[in-house]
Structure 1
Amino acid sequence: MRSWVLEALIEVICHGQYSNLYLKHHLKECPSKDRALATHIFYGTLQNYGYLNYCVNQYVKKKIPNRVRILLLMSVYQLFFLDKVPAYAIVNEAVTLTKIKNPSLSGLVNAFLHRVKQKDILLPDQEEEALSILYSVPSWLVYMWKAQYGIQQTKTMLSWTQQILPIYVRRNALCSTIEDFENSMFTSIQDDLYIYHGNDVAAHPYYQQGKMSIQDIGSYEIACFVDAKPGMHVLDTCAAPGTKTMAMAERMKDTGQIVSVDLHAHRVQLIENDAKRLHLQIVKALCKDARDLENLGLFDRVLCDVPCSGYGILARKPDIRLRMKPEDMDALIPLQQDILERGSLHVKENGILVYSTCTINKKENEKQIQSFLKKHTDFVLLEEKTIFPNKGQDGFYMAKLEKQQDSLL
């Protein structure tokens, strides 16, 4: 099992694989009885990547191969954070795995793991720098969140970005009943959202029959926030893989039409495949740039769920931590503005425009809406909300704007 975790972490850390996609395609290679623990170690190591590296660096001063370093990281994670796993088992397995490809370093691994203690790890005196290390995020993010939301909210968010989130599924009410989900595999959360207590959702008959889909709480709330009614025409401008599109289509009782746009043809295919799996007829998927929506006409609802920095989903997608750069965030802001601008051109009078992100950053959220409203007096803000990372939930932002009638301008 630990051999599988090591190879999975190498793929994500060294070769740039996305953690969630890697699990989706490769978790089945891990013995079924070990999958829950393997997933826990995999995500936990990535979530604590910065802190674990800091711990290793305090003891290991020589340069070591990436494979051995990653093995030390996952082993330290288990020693520090998993109470029910015996220390001797962790150390013995690490030494065994080292001997396979790096036998000359097995003594170093053994000595380090016997010596390292969490209580001996010294953090900087500066609070922001200490938080950066402790929660494995760049110090600039800590300073930014502190400036925008205050130190207490920042500490709370950082704490929740370390949680291992459950798997959530959305019930397709069009081809299932509440009674179908009244068993030990599911725990009801809200409306048609459930915690799934299995490992491989895609292998469950309900998934294959179109009775359920994977969807997190924040993503589901955005789909509900759009408030698409049966018979409406809806535009989803950055739709792939289609999770919100499908939730809206189900809430619309598969009447009306949803035009779902994505830039890449292979991702458009994902939308089409999911609509087919869920037996939905009203979804029309198009390969288009969200900044070029000509000839699409006007819609009752337009959703701009824009590309963003993803700071709200660090728990769900911990590999974001490995590649976070402040300049990437700044580069996204003009793109977000363009998508919102183009999407607004396709809203009917009295129609609704929803802007959403999966990040916690006022530059990408509130300030984008403020800037848009200054340029567009024909839109009014009806509601906005920030969902901060908390127990069992990622962080999201959403704003609802209404297009006013010409006579009211």
Structure 2
Amino acid sequence: MKTNKLFAKNHKNSPSHRTNLRADAAWALFEVLESGRSTRDIMPALFERYTKPQDRGWLQEATYGCLRELPILQFWTHTLLDKPLKGDKKIIEHLVMLGLFQIHFMRTLDHAAVSETVNAAKALNQPRFSGLVNAILRNFTRNNVADLPFPQPHIEYGLPKWLHKQLQQDYPEQWQNIAKQSNKKAPLWLRINKQKISVDEYSKHLDQAGIEHECHGIGAVKLISQTSVPKLPGYDDGWFNVQDYAAQQCMNLLPIDAGDTVLDCCAAPGGKTLALIDVNPALASLYAIDNVASRLDTLRENITRAHLSNEQKIVVLHADAAALSTHDKLPMFDKILLDAPCSASGIIRRHPDIKWLRKRADIDVLVALQSQILDEVWAKLKTGGTLLYATCSILPAENSKQIQTFLDRHDDATLVPIDEDSPHVGWQILPGEQEMDGFFYARLLKSK
């Protein structure tokens, strides 16, 4: 997600209440839904409060699960509450939703879910609401609230109203499956660093560690077993990067020749940077730019961990892609990868908070930004060069329509089909296709 700054508000960086799993999960929900914070910002601080992997796993499972099923949980909570809670009391509503999620979706025993959730109210320094939490959770099962019909269709599909309507409009035959796939848990994909180890060799290491997996394509491994990433074989030696199979397709779609000067635009945290240099070791140089300095720190860390033999070919620069023409340190490029800022609507299954951080008005802002970046980046591409446009969105306004508009205003741009038999502009991957995230690619040739 590259647009969190659009939604950031004042907030505490970490919880001040005493450590308690359910209290921490409720606090995380409050921060996402009331303060507009991303789980990527919240969860690391919460994980620091726990040393046991199972506690961290439960915290993520419960928090992400509530965000996936939020409309249903909100409907049940508001049905059971006499009136909404406000101000600092609002966190109790989020705690109630967490209790309902445990009972209905996690299949926690009723008495255990009620007892632990009541204790969490005390941990949140809200002991006066213990009785209310107890009554609501008991009334949920006693009154069969889960059997009530939903008053609006978007609730059943776990979507905000605007996205429910947008998917119906953009995908009249597929929107239900898209919603279903977006609510599933995403598998963990690895891209094997072939400068360090072959896919077959790495597969043997996984077998020896008892980690069930599948090998795909030229360098992708999908993990079947749930495993902590730092405990995977070769983590410290740079044998792999965590990267969805859809994102890995950039290696195949951007043809890079020996001696090419390449730009990875909006590059942080660097997954595609590493993929491109891994399969194209003979390129002359690879410039990786991003406009967020802290994200570039993460990119540098990932480059260091990869232990690349040609690491010196990567040039990391702090630069704004929307004003690229003003940057005098950049050369002209033979090939460009533009992983554009987007709604991230294709990776909701991996980051369910996206559904609640994004608003319909944000799409228009992002479309305008993408258009500006495309024009700026295009000016830095050599004649005869190729630009690969990518987003982790499934909205045509950011993808096929964006590219068609670009082609209409640039007579030196030619669309190079990814699939010769497809009538569509670019390649739209929908969530769940070959178990990939939702993603879009379009390949453009600068013809004159």
TM-score by length of 1: 0.90
In 2, Cα distance between equivalents of 1:273 and 1:255:
22
C-alpha change, 1:165 and 1:27, in structure 2 (3 Å) is: farther
Contact 1:5 1:38 in 2 (8 A): yes
SS in 2 for 1:175: coil
Q: Bigger shift: 288-297 or 197-206?
A: 197-206
Deviation track 1:342-397 (CA, whole Å, cap 9, x = no partner) reads 11122233321111111111111111111111122222111211011126432111
Aligned to 1:70: 94
Aligned to 2:158: 136
Q: Is the 8 A contact 2:22 2:95 kept in 1?
A: no
Cα pair 2:24 2:46 within 8 Å, conserved: no
Look up the match of 1:293: 324
2:433 is equivalent to residue 386 of structure 1: no
**Structure 1 counterpart of 2:213:** 187
Instruction: Report what 1:94 is aligned to.
Output: 117
In percent, how many aligned pairs have the same letter? Answer: 30
Within the candidate set 99, 106, 110, 2:134 is matched to: 110
- One-letter code aligned to 2:177: T
Distance across 2 between alignment mates of 1:43 and 1:78: 12
Counterpart of 1:271 in structure 2 is: 299
2:377 maps to 1:347? no
**1:275-323, Cα deviation, whole Å (9 max, x unpaired):** 1221231211111111233442322211111111121111111112222
What SS is found at the alignment partner of 2:249?
helix
Residue 169 to residue 27, structure 1, CA distance change in 2 (3 Å):
farther
- Aligned counterpart for 1:38 among listed residues 53, 59, 81: 59
Unaligned runs of 5+ in 1: none
Aligned partner of residue 207 in structure 1, secondary structure: coil
Q: What is the CA-CA distance between 1:250 and the residue it aligns to?
A: 1.0
Q: Is contact 1:35–1:199 with CA below 8 Å preserved after alignment?
A: no
Give the partner amino acid of 1:321.
Answer: K
Residues 20, 175 of structure 1: CA spacing in aligned structure 2 closer, same or farther, 3 A cutoff?
Answer: same
Partner amino acid for 1:222? Answer: C
Which residue of the partner structure matches residue 256 of structure 1? 284
Distance between the aligned counterparts of 1:7 and 1:68, measured in 2? 9
**Aligned-pair CA distance for 1:7:** 3.8
Hey, what's the Cα distance between the residues in 2 that align with 1:199 and 1:7?
26
250, 253, 258: which one aligns with 1:225: 253
**How far 1:154 moved relative to its partner?**
0.7
- The correspondence of residues 8-87 of structure 1 with structure 2, limited to 5 A, is 8-27=28-47, 29-30=49-50, 31-64=52-85, 65-83=89-107, 85-87=108-110
Aligned to 1:367: 401
Aligned residues: 398
Q: Secondary structure of 1:389's partner?
A: coil
SS in structure 2 of the partner of residue 75 of structure 1: helix
Matched, 1:212 2:240: yes
**Residue 238 of structure 1 corresponds to which residue in structure 2?**
266
Is residue 2:171 matched to residue 1:149? yes
- Distance, in Å, in 2 between the alignment partners of 1:55 and 1:109 is 13
Q: For residue 400 of structure 1, what is the aligned residue in structure 2?
A: 443
**Whole-Å separation in 2 of the counterparts to 1:17 and 1:403:** 40
Instruction: Give the CA deviation at 1:144.
Output: 1.9
Question: Any runs of at least 4 consecutive aligned residues in structure 1 with deviations exceeding 4 A, and if so which?
Answer: none
Q: CA deviation at 1:224?
A: 3.3
Q: In 1, Cα distance between the equivalents of 2:45 and 2:438?
A: 26
Distance (whole Å) between structure 1 residues aligned to residue 255 and residue 370 of structure 2? 22
The 2-side partners of 1:118 and 1:189 are apart by 44
Cα-to-partner distance string for 1:22-64 (whole Å, 9 max, x where unaligned): 3345435332233333322121111122221121101112233
Please say if 1:2 is aligned against 2:22.
Answer: yes
| Residue identity matched to 2:252 | C
In the superposition, relative to structure 1, how do residues 62 and 379 fare at CA in structure 2: closer, same or farther (>3 Å)?
same
In 2, the alpha carbon distance for the partners of 1:305 and 1:297 equals: 19
Secondary structure at the residue paired with 2:389? strand
Q: Distance in 2 between matches of 1:8 and 1:139?
A: 23
Match of 2:344 in 1: 310
Matched position secondary structure for 1:291? helix
SS in 2 for 1:394: coil
CA distance in 1, matches of 2:134, 2:363: 41
Q: Name the amino acid aligned to 1:192.
A: G
- Taking the aligned partners of 1:274 and 1:403, their CA distance within structure 2 comes to 32
Q: In the alignment, is residue 337 of structure 1 matched against residue 367 of structure 2?
A: no
How far residue 198 of structure 1 moved from its aligned partner, in angstroms, is 4.7
Whole-Å Cα distance in 2 between the matches of residues 175 and 209 of structure 1? 8
The answer to whether the Cα contact below 8 Å between 1:310 and 1:358 also exists between their aligned partners in 2 is yes
AA matched with 1:300: D
SS in 1 for 2:322: coil
CA spacing shift, 1:142–1:89, aligned 2, 3 Å: same
Q: CA deviation at 1:326?
A: 1.2
Q: Describe the shift of the 1:241–1:86 C-alpha distance in structure 2 as closer, same or farther (beyond 3 A).
A: same
2:186 is aligned, of 149, 165, 183, to 165
Match of 2:196 in 1: 175
- Distance in 2 separating the partners of 1:352 and 1:268: 25
The C-alpha deviation readout for 1:69-124, integer Å capped at 9, x for no partner, is 111111111222223x3222211211222234222222221221122235433213
Q: Is the contact between residue 232 and residue 257 of structure 1 (CA under 8 Å) also seen in structure 2?
A: yes
378-387 or 100-109, which deviates more: 100-109
The CA RMSD over aligned residues, in Å, is 2.2
Instruction: Report the CA distance shift for 1:223/1:177 in structure 2 as closer, same or farther (over 3 A).
Output: closer
Aligned-residue offset at 1:146: 1.4
